[in-house]
Structure 1
Amino acid sequence: MKMIQLLYVENVISRKKRELHQKLAFFMLVENQGHDKKIDVLWAGEDGVWHMLPATWHSNLGHHEEYWQAQITAISTADKSLPGNITIALRYQVQGREYWDNKYGLNYSSQADSGIKVVTTHPVLNIGFVNKLNDGQKYVPVSVSVNHAVNAKTVTIHWTTDNWQHSYKTPCNFKRNYWDKKSGSNARNPNQYGSQIWQGLLKIDNAFRVQYTISCECDDKVFWDNNQDKNYSVSHEPLKVMILNLHCYQEDNQDFKFSQIATAINDLDVDVVCFQEVAELWNDGQGDWNSNSAKIINDRLNSPYHLYTDWSHLGFDKYREGVAILSRYPLLKQASKYVSGSHSAYSIHSRKVVMAQVNVPYMGLINFFSAHLSWWDDGFSEQFNKLSEWVRDNQTEAVSATMLCGDFNITAGSEGYSLVVGANVYDDQFLAVNDQGAFEKIFKVNDAHWQHYLADDYRIDYIFMNKASQLHIISGKVLFTEEDYGRVSDHCGYFMIFEPK
């Protein structure tokens, strides 16, 4: 394919409060050549003056292609007319190189108020589709451009909300005028470029995701738009979880690093955070809330989260050391409990875990446990067994998933790790998403050849999710390295994203 390709242009004029508005929108397909890309639409109206309009990312099409979009609305004033007919070219800059789609030097064109103009040879093309669902959205409109030459008889949307376990068909209606929902305007002649506009409406109720493909039946052939064999998919926001051991106030430039952690949570739009080695000044055992590291980070978020924390023991001779959970969603249930035999505030082997239950929109109730357990020789087995019992007591049919999060002080592949995953109750989520082949061989096929695969994997921080979960992980990466927000602890963090199965 081309490095950048214009797919369609929208050109609609409307009247609002006695003002004339002209909306120009551009949709394009881009070869993903790196993260530092810059994409611009160069356009000129009837006055011949060229303008640069930056494009923004819309959605991914597999690993190597992306959809990008750009739009602008011009307003007619006493001394400035609308752009009218426009001329268009696309520029793509990445890794010191520059690519163009300008119709091989001739440039593209779009006439004023012409609605949608498809500039590719697609006989059927989904247009104006969104990349995510809004809260409370129960209907998904679908607009389809069909090349007039194919002589379409029917256009049908084939769709599902449960990954094709059940599927539905919704017929589309032919629109003699192209209706622009945002501007409230009809384009006068949407078919002048040889395209027909068909529209359908999917009733998805409270589904998390809808996937669909489009068929167009003609006299002797059926044309499809299935998004290059990947189908179209639009969903609500996934669940984003972060885990991090804060290192109990032992970092140089500690205050700056707290700010870096808050910045990462804001940037990544994290939903739930599980912290370990949360610390506040000992103060004769009474603590000092204003020095609590989880509170300090929470106070620096764009909007503070719901926070639950508790401490286990005296750390580094001057802190109350514990664990915490931060959640953008209200905590419906919260509790803390010692899972160690020792409950002494003066023993480092006293280990307390906190749990919180949250109702994640479109996913249901999820139980989170933030844990910092002892090393294998210091009581890990006893502590994990008590934690597991507590988890089982809170696992009801209403709970969609349970996540054990934090610093488990067991290396991947070790005896302690085998205790966790060997009971066939929990899966190591980071391994599951980042090395699926190894995960299958080790945990599902039980291939003896792969049992030593984790020997060089020195992770001790995990998210273990119960196998009966109604969620699955879609991505996971390491955080707080020299490549992103810098080192903020003697541990790295982990950021993982989940969706319903």
Structure 2
Amino acid sequence: MAKFLTLNTHSWLGEDPKWALETLGKQILKADYDVIALQEINQRIDSAKVLNTPYTLKNQHQLHEDNYALKLVEYLKEHGLTYHFTWAYSHIGYDEYHEGVALLSKQPFSSEKSVLTSAVDDEYNYHTRRALIAKTTVAGRELCVVSGHFSWWKSDFKSEWQRLEQALADEQAPLVIMGDFNNPENTLGHDLVLASSLGLKDSHLAAKKVTGGPTILQDIDGWENNDKALRIDFIFVSQQLEVKESHVLFDGKKLPLISDHFGVECVIE
């Protein structure tokens, strides 16, 4: 069995971000995920740079000491669980942060790359988006894992998805593509992914055992004036991967809210 988690962390932006990080860390320690995809991974623009780090972060943006993924990995290591991680920077968020996406893996990454998915490449433009693609081994099998944070359909989702598709077109390893897609279930964006030449399925729809549904509640950043709960955070996997379970976490029920998004975990055979 292999376990995966995705979460848009909204890092450092909540009322008690240290508590949120530790709550996330405690769930990771308990569940022992093989791979974790995180979005809205922030570090302050003006915080100190990390000059020496054991993490490779090949061709990535300069890591700062308050990088949320770095702090999470340090917390986990302090509590006996070691993860490898990588991070890709997309744009400046809230005028204060370098914002990007991250991947954590229990096994080392054999390759990692950041792919520009947006039409624009300007850190001052929040439409600038990058996906993080890496290879790692899970339960003795090589997988290609992705963390992405996409735009809305009315913005540039279609072309962003097509650029990621192109980047993965020759990939032979099974795919696990995770993240904040900003395109709800049963909309054009969701349909586009399911019809992809990559041969993907929505793990939450494919799972034999499911709990939870929506991953955002109404009016949050980017979904102003929205009046209903939506499922916009997904784990899409290759057709040959058998999904046993899919659960929505951090929804204020079994686990507390730690972000303006809920998390999604899945268990794959």
TM-score range relative to shorter protein: 0.7 to 0.9
Q: Contact 1:279–1:320 at 8 Å: present in 2 too?
A: yes
Residue type of the alignment partner of 2:236: F
Distance verdict in 2 for CA 1:435–1:360, change over 3 Å: closer
Residues 239-267 of structure 1 show CA distances to partners (whole Å, capped at 9, x for unaligned) of: 00000001132111100110000000000
Cα deviation, residue 289, structure 1: 1.7
Residues 209-255 of structure 1 show CA distances to partners (whole Å, capped at 9, x for unaligned) of: xxxxxxxxxxxxxxxxxxxxxxxxxxxxx100000001132111100
2:65 matches 1:290: yes
Q: Contact 2:47–2:65 at 8 Å: present in 1 too?
A: no
2:156 matches 1:383: no
Residue type of the alignment partner of 1:387: L
Residues 20-74 of structure 1 show CA distances to partners (whole Å, capped at 9, x for unaligned) of: xxxxxxxxxxxxxxxxxxxxxxxxxxxxxxxxxxxxxxxxxxxxxxxxxxxxxxx
Q: Contact 2:7–2:38 at 8 Å: present in 1 too?
A: yes
2:237 matches 1:459: no
Where does the alignment leave 5 or more consecutive residues of structure 2 unmatched? 50-61, 211-227
Q: Contact 2:250–2:263 at 8 Å: present in 1 too?
A: yes
C-alpha distance in structure 2 between counterparts of 1:340 and 1:481, whole Å: 30
TM-score normalized with structure 1 length:
0.45
| CA-based RMSD | 2.0
Match of 1:305 among 83, 102, 107: 83
Residue type of the alignment partner of 1:421: L
1:215-226 alignment, distance < 5 Å: none
Aligned length: 236
C-alpha distance in structure 2 between counterparts of 1:474 and 1:314, whole Å: 38
Q: Contact 1:406–1:462 at 8 Å: present in 2 too?
A: yes
> In structure 2, the residue corresponding to 1:378 is in which secondary structure?
coil
Equivalent residue for 2:35?
272
> In structure 2, the residue corresponding to 1:343 is in which secondary structure?
coil
Where does the alignment leave 5 or more consecutive residues of structure 1 unmatched? 1-237, 437-455
Match of 1:427 among 194, 201, 214: 201
2:5 matches 1:239: no
C-alpha distance in structure 2 between counterparts of 1:457 and 1:414, whole Å: 14
Ranked by relative contact order (alpha carbons within 8 Å, sequence separation 6 or more), the top structure is 2
Equivalent residue for 1:337?
115
Residues 59-107 of structure 1 show CA distances to partners (whole Å, capped at 9, x for unaligned) of: xxxxxxxxxxxxxxxxxxxxxxxxxxxxxxxxxxxxxxxxxxxxxxxxx
Equivalent residue for 1:495?
265
Equivalent residue for 2:255?
485
Q: Contact 1:248–1:321 at 8 Å: present in 2 too?
A: no
Residue type of the alignment partner of 1:404: I
Identical columns (%):
28
2:147 matches 1:374: no
Distance verdict in 2 for CA 1:328–1:435, change over 3 Å: closer
Equivalent residue for 1:152?
none
Cα deviation, residue 288, structure 1: 5.6
Equivalent residue for 1:256?
19
1:77-476 alignment, distance < 5 Å: 238-283=1-46, 289-301=64-76, 302-362=80-140, 364-393=141-170, 395-396=171-172, 399=173, 401-423=174-196, 425-433=199-207, 458-467=230-239, 469=240, 471-476=241-246
> In structure 1, the residue corresponding to 2:70 is in which secondary structure?
helix
Distance verdict in 2 for CA 1:378–1:285, change over 3 Å: farther
Cα deviation, residue 484, structure 1: 2.7
Q: Contact 2:2–2:139 at 8 Å: present in 1 too?
A: no
Residue type of the alignment partner of 1:495: E
Question: Which structure is larger by alpha-carbon Rg, 1 or 2?
Answer: 1
C-alpha distance in structure 2 between counterparts of 1:402 and 1:377, whole Å: 26
Residues 338-392 of structure 1 show CA distances to partners (whole Å, capped at 9, x for unaligned) of: 1111110101100011111012234x11000100011111100000000011111
C-alpha distance in structure 2 between counterparts of 1:385 and 1:435, whole Å: 31
Q: Contact 2:209–2:245 at 8 Å: present in 1 too?
A: no
